[in-house]
């Protein structure tokens, strides 16, 4: 019988990757808390309708990539493809919209999209995200971008920021009309032709080269913004300039989710191959309303954790890892006691098998220990322990009491 394998596009995270993964989540959480965000954990399984209404039926995520099924109670449910919709569902369900004021939450966890797996593109992947509700000021958009920059800088990850404004209900409908009129004069791929009907702005970010050539003279949303959107977009760029955040305005950046208004952005890296987006987000001032709540402004982002793992540079720590072992049967109780005492302050590795000196040393080195302490017959007799610092190579016999 063949052994069971993990599903295609789904990975175990272990060893150095899991070290980096927890390091990343821990430090991003600390930064988010500094900006006033509190942790939220939402269910991984939600009603399918939640994503249809928020991410949008015309998006690839909803139309092609959802892990949806009918559960035993005949409910249409799916594994969440992203984190924003669940957070907004919580916000409305708990009447935070009616309470008013500002609410800021962060989350991390698995997301599921039935995509074609390749480097940097998984079917189960993890995001770290933040969502801010109740703050219409463009300073909040800028703050979010500064926070992501702080996170990426913390891990010494280089990035490029791409920025756009998608307008709002005042300017977007007119822009869409002009765009559709223009698109109808072009020769585009099948996907694009379908999108002219369902969501014309998605045509702008078609990856097909011949479509991009055709689209060269398409009207730009940034030339059609109403006064309020234009003022906010200008202010956002000004704040980023003042704070030394470089960006590139990309009027074709429309994002693959339908809920954005005004600010949309993506952080990209040149060092991870074709799937270069490491974080994405923007403003979604209509989403609370789309999900049945009182109109409330919102803005947020999510970082894709797997794509970043190979880019993270861990700050040097001087963490000591101690390995304690027994070289004779009658030393095991003493070793057990020493391990438990030392664990109150230090990371301790051990092995309860009686082993010779060099076997223990080997074992300790393999597991990344920086200090080795061993007890054998001789040490038991004299109440001592043999200690070696694997970094400085210094070795000593000291009393077990002092140890």
Strand ranges in 230-354 using DSSP code E only, listed in sequence order: 248-249, 261-268, 277-283, 298-304, 321-326, 347-351
Q: How many residues bind ligand HAM (CB under 6 A)?
A: 25
- 3-state class of 249 per DSSP? strand
Candidates 68, 182, 256, 334; binder of ligand HAM (CB under 6 A) is 256
Record the tokens describing residue 51, joined without a space. 């994503």
Binding segment (CB under 6 A) for ligand HAM, from list 133-141, 273-281, 310-318, 336-344: 273-281
Beta carbons within 8 Å of 136's beta carbon, 6+ residues apart: 285, 297
- String marking each residue 47-86 x if it binds ligand HAM according to CB under 6 A: -----------------------------------xxx--
Measured between alpha carbons, how far is residue 289 from residues 18, 53, 93, 186, 226 in Å? Answer: 38, 10, 12, 35, 21
Candidates 300, 326, 348, 372; binder of ligand HAM (CB under 6 A) is 300
Candidates 129, 200, 293, 325; binder of ligand HAM (CB under 6 A) is 129
Q: Cβ closer to ligand HAM: 114 or 403? A: 114
Q: Cβ closer to ligand HAM: 275 or 370? A: 275
Min dist. Cβ of residue 163 to ligand HAM (A): 14
Sign of CA dihedral 52, 57, 63, 65: negative
Give me the residue label for tokens 């993270």.
312
Q: Which of 21, 75, 6 is nearest to 45 (CA)?
A: 75
Long-range contacts of 7-16 (CB under 8 A, 24+ apart): 7/123, 7/124, 8/117, 8/123, 9/115, 9/117, 9/121, 9/122, 9/123, 9/124, 10/122, 10/123, 10/124, 11/122, 11/124, 11/306, 13/306
Candidates 105, 192, 278, 348; binder of ligand HAM (CB under 6 A) is 278
Q: Cβ closer to ligand HAM: 282 or 376? A: 282
148 binds ligand HAM (CB under 6 A): no
User: Within its chain, how far is the Cα of 366 from the centroid?
Assistant: 31
Could you say which residues in the range 108-127 bind ligand HAM, by CB under 6 A?
Answer: 113, 115, 121-122, 125, 127
Q: Cβ closer to ligand HAM: 172 or 254? A: 254
Min dist. Cβ of residue 116 to ligand HAM (A): 9
Min dist. Cβ of residue 255 to ligand HAM (A): 6
Interface contacts to ligand HAM, rule CB under 6 A: 82-84, 113, 115, 121-122, 125, 127, 129, 131, 256-257, 277-282, 300-302, 304, 306-307
């Amino acid at each position: 019988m063949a052994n069971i394998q993990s599903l295609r596009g789904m990975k175990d995270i272990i060893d150095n990757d899991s070290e980096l993964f927890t390091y990343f989540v821990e430090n991003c959480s600390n930064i988010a808390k500094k900006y006033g965000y509190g942790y939220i954990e939402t269910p991984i399984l939600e009603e399918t309708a939640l994503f249809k209404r928020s991410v949008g039926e015309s998006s690839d995520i909803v139309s092609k990539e959802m892990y949806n099924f009918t559960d035993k109670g005949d409910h249409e449910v799916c594994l969440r493809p992203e984190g924003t919709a669940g957070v907004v569902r919580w916000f409305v369900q708990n009447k935070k919209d009616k309470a008013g004021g500002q609410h800021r939450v962060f989350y991390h966890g698995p997301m599921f999209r039935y995509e074609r797996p390749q480097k940097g593109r998984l079917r189960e992947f993890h995001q770290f995200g933040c969502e801010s509700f109740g703050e219409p000021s463009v300073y909040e958009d800028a703050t979010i971008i500064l926070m992501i920059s702080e996170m990426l800088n913390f891990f010494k990850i280089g990035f490029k920021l791409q920025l756009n404004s998608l307008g709002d209900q005042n300017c977007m409908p007119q822009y869409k009309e002009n765009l559709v009129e223009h698109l109808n004069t072009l020769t585009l791929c099948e996907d694009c032709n379908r999108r002219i009907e369902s969501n014309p702005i998605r045509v702008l970010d078609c990856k097909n080269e011949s479509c991009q050539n055709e689209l060269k003279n398409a009207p730009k949303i940034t030339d059609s913004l109403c006064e309020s959107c234009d003022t906010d977009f200008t202010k956002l760029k000004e704040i980023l300039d003042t704070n030394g955040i470089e960006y590139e305005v990309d009027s074709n950046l429309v994002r693959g989710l339908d809920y954005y208004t005004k600010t949309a952005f993506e952080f990209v890296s040149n060092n991870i191959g074709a799937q270069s987006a490491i974080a994405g987000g923007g403003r979604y001032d209509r989403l609370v309303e789309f999900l049945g709540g009182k109109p409330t402004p919102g803005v947020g982002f999510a970082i894709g954790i797997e794509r970043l793992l190979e880019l993270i540079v861990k700050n040097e720590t001087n963490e000591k890892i101690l390995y304690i072992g027994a070289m004779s049967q009658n030393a095991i109780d003493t070793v057990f006691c020493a391990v438990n005492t030392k664990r109150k302050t230090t990371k301790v590795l051990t092995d309860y098998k009686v082993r010779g000196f060099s076997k223990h040393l080997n074992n300790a080195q393999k597991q990344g220990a920086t200090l080795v302490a061993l007890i054998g017959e001789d040490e038991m007799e004299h109440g001592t322990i043999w200690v070696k610092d694997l970094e400085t190579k210094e070795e000593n016999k000291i009393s077990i009491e002092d140890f």
